[in-house]
Amino acid sequence: MRETPLTYLRPLAAPGEPWDPESVRALVGDARIVLVGEGAHGIDDFARLGDGLFRTLATELGFTAFVRESGFAEGLAVDAWVQGGPGEVEDVARTGITYGFGASEAVRSQLAWMRAENLRRRSPGRVPLHFWGMDLPGSSTSPGVAVRVCLERIPAHDGDEELRRITDLGGRTEAAIAWDGLDDAARATLRDGIADLCARVDREGDDVARRSAATLRAFLAELAWDGAPGAYPREQLMADTVAWIAEREERILVFAHNAHVRREPLHGRPAMGTLLHDGFGDALRVIGMTYGHGPVVSFAERSSRPFDWETTLSEREPAPDSLEHALDRLGDVLVDLRAAPSGLWDDVAGTHAGGGMDPLADVTVAFDAVAHRHRASLVPGHLDRLRAEFGPGVPELDAVPHRSETTVATVSQKDLG
């Protein structure tokens, strides 16, 4: 493809490689927060592009923290490892990064680079890199880790061990099935125990304990959500947590799904990016990531049991009115939407998300820039892991009685595939 003189188009870095510093400076300017979205979870290219961008931001522009769509409480252990703590990166990523994102070799490579970079920074005046989660605990289905973090940071009370026990509901699918099997009295006991713990943290906890308690309050709010207008409790939590982190770091990159980072509300509700724009304005940049061709993971319910889903794989052909279709003819490219001619987006009605489309009224409102890959691939093993977790006959779980159709929190299929 011949070189183009158009200033709004720049070659996209290869996945896993640092981004061009000149391009990044032009996009980021003096913004303190950069939101980076991925068009689908489980895409290896997106994880590697996010890693490469952070390396450039950290080494060239003074960014000090990587914030991921992952449990806040779990992320504390990841950061301890990045600062030089004990353990193996595979174990830290698996247990400390929720939704299964830690199974990605690209994610583990990023953590290893951050740890090595911190070793290089061990001299006076050099600021270490930090990892933060910003999300609900337990992949949005179990409050256990956040409860443990709170209890570890406040004086002990009688009954603490019992609270630890009843709030540790297990892994993502196991926890959803366990909650589904609780009767009303057991659910009330769990809710009341968490509410009492949060009140104790307000009185006796430090800042980290109080932020962990905020994730528990959001967890309960998701359980009680009744369709009221406004942001989902989870979106509000992530926005509040990013703002909290921004008070403690010089400049931060936030990595999540496009549906979370976009400035433009989604289906009439503010996204995390919408809420952060209200607070940070020009100090915020939003970069979406999309791909034209490659795998699409979809889910179909088999029964009323939580996460009893058929997981299928198909190949994407970009819809004519999609952002992906508009970008795909350009190849692998970084597009600065602020400088692009408006006519390029006249026919764009949405962006692909899972097996569907998220509407876009104005792509230039939603994103400042888009990094596009013509073809992308799944994280190795991603599909097999999903099928093993959501398949029929999950070990020891199908025997749990189904006493309610309620499931824990609001887990979108976008958060899975």
Cα–Cα distance for residue pair 374/405, rounded to 1 Å:
41
pLDDT at 403: 27
Res. 382: pLDDT tops 70 = yes
Q: Which residues pair with 37 in a beta bridge?
A: 256
Q: Sign of the CA dihedral 99, 105, 106, 109?
A: positive
71 part of a folded domain = yes
What DSSP character marks residue 344?
G
Across 72-141, the runs of DSSP E, i.e. the strands, are: 130-135
215 part of a folded domain = yes
4 part of a folded domain = no
Which position has the higher pLDDT, 413 or 307? 307
Res. 240: pLDDT tops 60 = yes
Mean pLDDT (whole number) for 235-251: 98
Question: What is 197-242 written as a DSSP string?
Answer: HHHHHHHH--HHHHHHHHHHHHHHHHHH----SS--HHHHHHHHHH
2 part of a folded domain = no
1 part of a folded domain = no
Cα–Cα distance for residue pair 413/318, rounded to 1 Å:
19
Cα–Cα distance for residue pair 223/244, rounded to 1 Å:
24
pLDDT at 74: 98
Mean pLDDT (whole number) for 174-200: 96
Res. 77: pLDDT tops 80 = yes
Do strands 295-301 and 309-315 pair parallel, antiparallel, or not at all (unpaired)? Answer: antiparallel
pLDDT at 121: 94
C-alpha atoms less than 13 angstroms from C-alpha of 159 in its C-beta half-sphere: 7
Res. 402: pLDDT tops 60 = no
27 part of a folded domain = yes
Q: What pLDDT digit, counting tens, does each position of 252-305 carry? A: 999 999 999 999 999 999 999 999 999 999 999 999 999 999 999 999 999 999
pLDDT at 413: 52
Mean pLDDT (whole number) for 46-60: 98
Q: What pLDDT digit, counting tens, does each position of 87-107 carry? A: 999 999 999 999 999 999 999
| 12 pLDDT tier (thresholds 50, 70, 90) | very high
Res. 163: pLDDT tops 90 = yes
pLDDT at 44: 97
Q: Which residues pair with 312 in a beta bridge?
A: 298
Of the candidates 139, 100, 31, the residue with the CA atom closest to the CA atom of residue 369 = 31
106 part of a folded domain = yes
In single-letter form, the type of residue at position 102 comes to G
Res. 3: pLDDT tops 60 = no
pLDDT at 391: 80
In Å, how far are 229, 283, 338 from 270, measured between CA atoms? 10, 18, 22
Mean pLDDT (whole number) for 65-69: 98
Residues 246, 167 contacting (CB under 8 angstroms): no
Give the pTM: 0.93
User: Which residue range forms the structural domain that includes residue 384?
Assistant: 9-415
| 343 pLDDT tier (thresholds 50, 70, 90) | confident
Share of the chain above pLDDT 70, in %: 92
The number of residues making up the chain comes to: 417
Res. 21: pLDDT tops 70 = yes
Residues 354, 297 contacting (CB under 8 angstroms): yes
Residues 360, 348 contacting (CB under 8 angstroms): yes
Share of the chain above pLDDT 90, in %: 88
Res. 219: pLDDT tops 60 = yes
Number of domains in the chain: 1
45 part of a folded domain = yes
What DSSP character marks residue 293?
E
What's the chain's average pLDDT? 92
Residues 219, 31 contacting (CB under 8 angstroms): no
